[in-house]
Amino acid sequence: MEEEKKLKVLISEEELNARIKELAKQIYEDYHGQEITFICILKGSIFFTVELAKRIPSDINFEFIRVSSYHGENSTGVIKMKVDLQGDIKGKDVIIIEDIVDTGRTLSYLKEYLKSKEPKSLKVCSLLDKKERRVCEMEADYVGFDIPDKFVLGYGLDVDEKYRNLPYIGYYDNV
């Protein structure tokens, strides 16, 4: 992780913790303490999912799904299902937990796919939103931070499986 020194901090660990606490409070209030099913999009959303869930004092069920549309720093535009849900979400209040909404392709695909499973409700919570890169209409119901069009790393986000474990969101300064 020697290259870490070249990374600039976009969102600090303290800022992440404060905003996640606010999102948890909002979700708890919106669901009135009812049971929620979180669908964590692997691998990038794992840190966010865990930290968000720890701050919600109601029952949370966890499901995991893994899709991919990236190779290195570039979106391929092709969404591949790598790991499907193991449990049934029919009749449940479901929140898709995403690390970043970028082009919107992956979440558009997932929302349509998950609607076919007949949840009671389906919302999206994304830690980061990069609206400048949107190519299809997609808005998250809960957003941690709007960010500029920079390739970000850390807190679950990676490039070729590296940098996920950084406790902050960083980016390379291409100067």
Catalytic residues: 102
Terminal C-alpha separation, the chain: 20
Cα separation, 45 vs 65, in Å, equals: 10
Cα separation, 53 vs 110, in Å, equals: 21
Angle between helices 46-54 and 13-30 (to 10 degrees): 60
Whether 167 and 10 have beta carbons less than 8 Å apart is answered as: no
Whether 167 and 13 have beta carbons less than 8 Å apart is answered as: yes
Residues 6+ away with beta carbon under 8 Å from 151? 73, 159, 171, 172
3-class DSSP state of 171: strand
What are the angstrom distances between the C-alpha of 59 and each of 16, 38, 54?
23, 10, 10
3-class DSSP state of 162: strand
